[in-house]
Structure 1
Amino acid sequence: MGSVDQDWCDTLRLGFWWRSFFTFSRGYEKMKVQRLDRCKDTQKLIPFISAGRLRAESTESFVHGSHLDIWWRCLRCSKVFTQSCRTGLFTTQGAFKTYRLFGAVEDLTLKEWWLTKGHETFGESITTLQVTLYVKRKNSDALEITVDAMQQVSSQLAGKEFGFWLDQICLLNSRQGLLSDAPLSWPIYRSRIALEAMSQLLSIMEIHELIIRNAPQTCLWQIGEQLKLNSKAMTKGDDYPSVIADKHKAMGQTVSSYLKKGRCLVDNAANGLFPKY
């Protein structure tokens, strides 16, 4: 690649690692801090939730870093979903159901989408009652649900919210266990696929799309080296040509594997199956 393309890749790599450092490298710490922050944020919203006057502007922060955020990003990456939203023609019932949930996401930031559509659909899931644990007991139809309840919340509201969460958890346990089975469960949803893994796949897809659009001659191994996706396939200055060729092949296969998995995630999400490779 020439110097201009190299600079372009370097810029994208910097942006990629800047966005993803805390997600990939410090996910556990972020999760703990995020939970504390959201608990404090929820306390501030109690009067508005109790009065039924919760506004989109005050709830947008809850979406960032959630499974709902990842699902939305998947739809942004789906060219088929984008085209279907433009034409109004959907190839599957699942795709149309997803459209009814999210609406069109093309050219919208997450904040813009939440303010115009997201809060209307998913805002009722932000409750004063905080579900901290839910498990289905073995050899029984019983569910164990642990919640944090604020003292200043009325028993009537707490009971209503518990009923809401019980319904969502029952939906999750009666089907495949996908978020798409119970979309309103997004604040408490736990996936077998790590959020960090899905976020990484989407970031790689987004970066690949940008690079190919601006430098179409770029090889997959070059993208992989820029993002350091396979440490064993990174070339060194003293490598023999045959070794370099083998490493380029291995790195290209690594990137191809990431892209294939990411596309499966995106395609399934657009057809109403999320999260699923």
Structure 2
Amino acid sequence: MACCERGGKGRLAKLYKDFGDVREDNFKKWWTEGGRGATLFSENVPELTLRELSDKSQWDEAWTADEVLVVAIPLTSSRRYIQSRLIRLLDKRHHAEKPGRKKSNLAQSTASYPLERNYTIENLQKTLQVYDKYLQVKDEKPKVPLWKIGEQMRLVRTAMTSDDISLNEQQDRRNVMGASVKRYIANAEKLIANTAKGRFPLTKK
């Protein structure tokens, strides 16, 4: 946020140039503005089409056995034989999945900012909301306990306190709520630190 306030100056200048001012609450506007989301996170996958190779120079060194099946078809054989063999080969090798990058192919990603893992938008939003709330109150005196932040946001409904439960039960619930808030804050700080390194969304050090 400090980088945004300085107009993109500082050690995160490269990140600011790519992501722009992220203080805007309208995620859809941020994502679609100038095609930003697609530019940053989309994969530049070359289109593969079924075709005949008439020369060895048409072979692409980037092809892998998982993505391309190369066969030699003897044109002297009958059409029925060729078709039956192709069907058997396809049954053995063809395992179509939904388009997109598989987790195991992260190192081969062509995106400017490869997605380290699949997070739901809801989870990321909740993490940001908790962190924003924490930043708002972290310097207040007296210090606001983490469990109170969670209660204000109704973060864990089963850990909400009330006047009709025992003091021990209240303390147990506050411990659960506080631990949950602490976990969200820790994840948010890791997300921010890793995003600055071009790794998003990642909650590992």
TM-score, scaled to structure 2 = 0.54
Equivalent residue number for residue 162 of structure 2: 236
Are residue 141 (structure 1) and residue 55 (structure 2) matched?
no
- The Cα offsets for residues 158-202 of structure 1, whole Å up to 9 and x where unpaired, read as xxxxxxxxxx969x946275xxx61489xxx89511121111101
Identify unmatched segments of 5+ residues in structure 2.
40-63, 69-94
Kindly indicate whether the alpha-carbon contact (under 8 Å) linking 2:195 and 2:201 is maintained by their aligned counterparts in 1: yes
Q: Equivalents in 1 of 2:98, 2:165: separation in Å?
A: 56
Identify unmatched segments of 5+ residues in structure 1.
1-77, 126-137, 148-167
Equivalent residue number for residue 15 of structure 2: 98
Letter matched to residue 217 of structure 1: K
Q: Compared with structure 1, are the counterparts of its residues 234 and 210 closer, same or farther at alpha carbon in structure 2 (3 Å cutoff)?
A: same
Q: Displacement, 1:86? A: 5.8
Alignment of 1:254-265 (within 5 A): 254-265=180-191
- Number of paired residues? 152
Equivalent residue number for residue 107 of structure 2: 175
More helix by share: 1
Q: Displacement, 1:224? A: 1.0
Q: Which moved more, 1:253-262 or 1:238-247?
A: 238-247
Alignment of 1:1-277 (within 5 A): 78-79=1-2, 81-82=3-4, 88-90=9-11, 95-103=12-20, 105=21, 118-119=33-34, 122=36, 140-142=66-68, 173=105, 175=107, 182-183=111-112, 192-212=118-138, 217-277=143-203
Kindly indicate whether the alpha-carbon contact (under 8 Å) linking 2:19 and 2:36 is maintained by their aligned counterparts in 1: no
Q: Equivalents in 2 of 1:190, 1:276: separation in Å?
A: 6
Q: Compared with structure 1, are the counterparts of its residues 258 and 146 closer, same or farther at alpha carbon in structure 2 (3 Å cutoff)?
A: closer
Q: Equivalents in 2 of 1:123, 1:234: separation in Å?
A: 37
Q: Displacement, 1:97? A: 3.7
RMSD of aligned alpha carbons: 4.3
Kindly indicate whether the alpha-carbon contact (under 8 Å) linking 2:130 and 2:185 is maintained by their aligned counterparts in 1: yes
Kindly indicate whether the alpha-carbon contact (under 8 Å) linking 2:159 and 2:177 is maintained by their aligned counterparts in 1: yes
The structure with the largest alpha-carbon Rg is 2
Q: Displacement, 1:261? A: 0.9
Kindly indicate whether the alpha-carbon contact (under 8 Å) linking 2:146 and 2:181 is maintained by their aligned counterparts in 1: yes
The runs of at least 4 aligned residues of structure 1 exceeding 6 Å deviation read 143-147
Larger relative contact order, structure 1 or 2 (CA cutoff 8 Å, min sep 6)? 1
TM-score, scaled to structure 1 = 0.42
Q: Equivalents in 1 of 2:120, 2:37: separation in Å?
A: 24
User: SS at 1:223's partner residue?
Assistant: helix
Q: Equivalents in 1 of 2:133, 2:173: separation in Å?
A: 21
Kindly indicate whether the alpha-carbon contact (under 8 Å) linking 1:97 and 1:272 is maintained by their aligned counterparts in 2: no
